[in-house]
Amino acid sequence: GLPYGSASGITLATAPEPTKKIVAFPMTVLDIDYGDIADYALIRFSIAEDVYAIFGNNAGRITQFIKLAEEQADNIISDIEHGTLQGFKSLAEEIQHKLKAALQPNPKRAEELRRAKKNNKRFLPDIYWPRLKIVGCWLSSSVGQYTEELRA
């Protein structure tokens, strides 16, 4: 009966409604139990948006998302273009139903991303979130080791 999961995920899930409305992904993503699909969904929805701030994760977790975005760039761009989500069919029906409304095709954003990816050696946040100004995360314990990697 005790809640478990990432601290920032639980914090976000219990945040006030106004906070939830400015999040770049549908809150239903937090209900996905499958690690790889959940991570992919989170980064896929976020890259579709104009993100200007990231709060609440540790530096190591953020670097994991950046690596995932680079590895899956073509799939993410295709999903944004077509309003799809890799692994969607493997999700519980209730989650599929809740996510369906958020899965709208955005060919304009996909083309912007595709062009930016083509013009750069790597697919990194400065490409898909050019207005990102601040990353707020905790750095204590072993996660501080990711600070320099994240800064780059």
| 37-96 tens-digit pLDDT | 999 999 999 999 999 998 866 788 888 999 999 999 999 999 999 999 999 999 999 999
Q: The whole model's pTM is what?
A: 0.85
Q: 87, 80, 68: which is closest to 114 by C-alpha?
A: 80
Contact assessment for residue 146 and residue 60, using Cβ atoms and an 8 Å cutoff: yes
Six-digit token string for 7: 């601290």
**How many whole angstroms separate alpha carbon 20 and alpha carbon 127?**
25
Contact assessment for residue 80 and residue 40, using Cβ atoms and an 8 Å cutoff: no
Residue 125: CB atoms within 10 Å? 19
Give the CA-trace dihedral at 70, 81, 135, 26, to 10 degrees: -120
Query: What is the model's pLDDT at position 75?
Result: 97
Angstrom distances, CA of residue 97 to CA of 28, 88, 102, 149: 10, 10, 10, 37
With tokens 């680079």, the residue in question is: 70
Query: What is the model's pLDDT at position 139?
Result: 73
Q: 13, 89, 76: which is closest to 41 by C-alpha?
A: 76
C-alpha 5: how far from its chain's center? 17
The arithmetic mean of pLDDT across residues 105-128, rounded, is: 95
**How many whole angstroms separate alpha carbon 23 and alpha carbon 99?**
14
Contact partners, residue 109, CB within 8 Å, separation at least 6: 48, 80, 81
